[in-house]
């Protein structure tokens, strides 16, 4: 049966496509029967929302009908049918502090009582900036509404500072909802990543392979790159770690060729105390944080080196006066965002919490490796801090193209249904599983048990 799909990569052969298809079908029936209230809401939703949901693209995330959620607490949420799910996607890392975290709830409550927004600073914004400067080593900070907004400002500042136009990103990147980085490489050429992007958007970006300094240098040498933007470890195409020296080499090359380097830690900041910037002592010109640092509250932040901050200071617009860098955002730095950020940094994202998280992440990834080994699957469990992942070959991926070989859509779709029907919310197709600050060892073990059961059910019997 496995030979029936000619494009199927070699390393998928350990999975029986027949058993997978059968399992997916039966799990799908179970899922439907368990989620009838959700289905009814979805039907009602279709009369006033595209695809029945508040963002149509959310429909495209799951390959099964969207659930409607009732509520969540800690690591777990409950749908409107009363089913519970331990979330191993951690809401795409927007909720690494857990649902209804009391520290964050208290901070937001105080913010609402203080007044949600003023378009004037509150003193706590200084506390946040000082703490981020201390923790990351990046000295100056600015607020936005999300990492997308932060990356937007970064690109604009870099363009204004360097007088250049292009952004360099890596295969497998995702930096949010801005035009400039919504590009992908197809057939060796850069093209728009989706419909409706502005004409010529592909001329504003270059895409190279991660961990390939020579390729980066070839592009940088052309002198058109304003800023190189990357996650320290790519987290949107399973998990790709940098080779030793790659990121500092990239910084040196960028500077040698008149470009700046931005580290996007919207996801990575949950991977280690102070982010990978601190953990790996990385040099950079910009550091981007997002997902409300994992609190579920909408805000992003970007850090600036002293020279970049001095440039922005000298090129800040005066309303109805001199033009400056096109930064903006009248709803940025709300009291909600500032208070949540302060509580997150001071009360949740402590060294002790990261230490515990590290232990849980190790339990998850080493446990997953044990499952692979036990089932004779020649795979590797990815691991970085709280993040694990299914690498369907023995060697870890070194770039996006290699990582995508382990994104087996059918396997993931079946696994998600299987897991959901047994109380686990599985990762986005391109991510995790990942533990949050509030997961427990028992929940990790529950995940591992189900992963074993699932893989046992779908592997080719000959490998037994």
Q: Binding a copy of itself by CB under 8 A: which of 249, 258, 283, 324?
A: 324
What is the rounded CA–CA span in Å between residue 186 and residue 453? 37
Contact between 80 and a copy of itself per CB under 8 A: yes
What is the rounded CA–CA span in Å between residue 280 and residue 287? 14
Q: Binding a copy of itself by CB under 8 A: which of 32, 148, 248, 446?
A: 148
Q: Give the SS3 label for residue 459.
A: strand
For the CB of residue 278, give the shortest distance to a copy of itself in the complex, in Å. 16
Q: Is 365 left (phi over 0), alpha (psi -120 to 50) or beta?
A: alpha
What is the rounded CA–CA span in Å between residue 157 and residue 164? 11
For the CB of residue 193, give the shortest distance to a copy of itself in the complex, in Å. 7
Considering the complex, state which of residue 8 and residue 193 has its C-beta at the smaller distance from a copy of itself: 193
Could you say which DSSP state residue 46 is in? T
Contact between 58 and a copy of itself per CB under 8 A: yes
Tell me which residues in 386-425 interact with a copy of itself (CB under 8 A): 407, 409
Contact between 192 and a copy of itself per CB under 8 A: yes
DSSP string, 143-167: EESSHHHHHHHHHHHHHHHH---EE
* Region of 16-24, 121-129, 364-372, 374-382 interacting with a copy of itself (CB under 8 A): 121-129
For the CB of residue 413, give the shortest distance to a copy of itself in the complex, in Å. 10
Distance of CA 260 to the CA centre of its chain: 22
325 closest CA partner among 174, 169, 152: 152
The H-assigned helical ranges of 375-436 are 400-404, 409-420
DSSP string, 60-93: TTTSSPPPPEEEEEBTEEEETTS-EEEESSHHHH
For the CB of residue 99, give the shortest distance to a copy of itself in the complex, in Å. 4
* Region of 89-97, 249-257, 270-278, 350-358 interacting with a copy of itself (CB under 8 A): 89-97
Contact between 306 and a copy of itself per CB under 8 A: no
- The dihedral over CA atoms of 56, 61, 66, 67, expressed in degrees to the nearest 10, equals -130
Tell me which residues in 196-255 interact with a copy of itself (CB under 8 A): 196-200, 203-204
For the CB of residue 363, give the shortest distance to a copy of itself in the complex, in Å. 25
Contact between 355 and a copy of itself per CB under 8 A: no
Contact between 109 and a copy of itself per CB under 8 A: yes
Q: Is 262 left (phi over 0), alpha (psi -120 to 50) or beta?
A: beta
Tell me which residues in 276-305 interact with a copy of itself (CB under 8 A): 290-292, 295-299, 304
Considering the complex, state which of residue 23 and residue 427 has its C-beta at the smaller distance from a copy of itself: 427
For the CB of residue 248, give the shortest distance to a copy of itself in the complex, in Å. 25
Q: Binding a copy of itself by CB under 8 A: which of 6, 10, 48, 244?
A: 48
For the CB of residue 307, give the shortest distance to a copy of itself in the complex, in Å. 12
Q: Give the SS3 label for residue 389.
A: strand
Q: Binding a copy of itself by CB under 8 A: which of 73, 281, 376, 453?
A: 73
Contact between 29 and a copy of itself per CB under 8 A: no
Q: For the purposes of burial, counting CB atoms within 10 Å of the CB of 278, is it exposed (0-12), middle (13-18) or buried (19 or more)? A: middle
């Amino acid at each position: 049966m496995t030979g029936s799909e000619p494009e199927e990569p070699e390393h998928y052969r350990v999975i029986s496509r027949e058993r997978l298809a059968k399992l997916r079908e039966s799990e799908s029936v179970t899922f439907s029967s368990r989620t009838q209230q959700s289905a009814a809401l979805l039907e009602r939703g279709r009369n006033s929302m595209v695809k029945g949901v508040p963002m149509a693209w959310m429909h495209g995330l799951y390959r099964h009908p969207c659930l409607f959620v009732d509520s969540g607490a800690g690591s777990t949420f409950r749908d409107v049918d009363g089913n519970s799910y331990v979330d191993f996607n951690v809401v795409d890392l927007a909720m690494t502090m857990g649902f209804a975290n009391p520290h964050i709830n208290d901070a937001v409550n105080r913010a609402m009582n203080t007044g949600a927004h003023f378009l004037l600073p509150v003193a706590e914004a200084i506390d946040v900036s000082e703490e981020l400067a201390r923790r990351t080593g990046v000295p100056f900070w600015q607020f936005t509404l999300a990492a997308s907004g932060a990356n937007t400002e970064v690109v604009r500042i870099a363009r204004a500072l360097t007088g250049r136009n292009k952004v360099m990103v890596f295969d497998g990147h995702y930096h949010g909802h801005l035009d400039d980085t919504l590009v992908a490489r197809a057939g060796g050429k850069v093209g728009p990543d989706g419909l409706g992007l502005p004409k010529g958007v592909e001329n504003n970006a270059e895409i190279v392979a991660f961990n390939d300094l020579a390729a980066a240098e070839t592009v940088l040498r052309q002198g058109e790159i304003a800023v190189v933007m990357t996650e320290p470890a790519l987290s949107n195409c399973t998990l790709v770690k940098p080779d030793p020296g790659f990121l500092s080499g990239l910084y040196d090359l960028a500077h040698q060729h008149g470009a700046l380097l931005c580290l996007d830690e919207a996801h990575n900041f949950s991977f280690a105390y102070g982010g990978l910037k601190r953990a790996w002592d990385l040099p950079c010109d910009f550091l981007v944080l997002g997902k409300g640092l994992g609190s579920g509250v909408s805000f992003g932040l970007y850090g600036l080196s002293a020279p970049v901050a001095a440039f922005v200071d000298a090129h800040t617009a005066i309303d109805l006066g001199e033009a400056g860098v096109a930064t903006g955002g009248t709803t940025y730095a709300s009291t909600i965002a500032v208070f949540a950020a302060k509580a997150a940094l001071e009360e949740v994202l402590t060294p002790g919490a990261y230490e515990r998280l590290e232990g849980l992440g190790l339990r998850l990834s080493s446990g997953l490796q044990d499952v692979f080994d036990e089932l004779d699957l020649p795979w590797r469990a990815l691991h970085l801090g709280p993040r694990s992942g299914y690498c369907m070959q023995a060697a870890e991926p070194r770039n996006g193209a290699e990582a995508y070989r382990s994104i087996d859509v059918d396997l993931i779709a079946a696994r998600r249904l299987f897991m959901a029907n047994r109380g686990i919310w599985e990762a986005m197709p391109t991510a995790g599983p990942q533990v949050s600050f509030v997961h427990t060892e028992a929940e990790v073990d529950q995940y591992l048990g189900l992963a074993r059961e699932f893989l046992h059910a779908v592997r080719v019997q000959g490998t037994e």
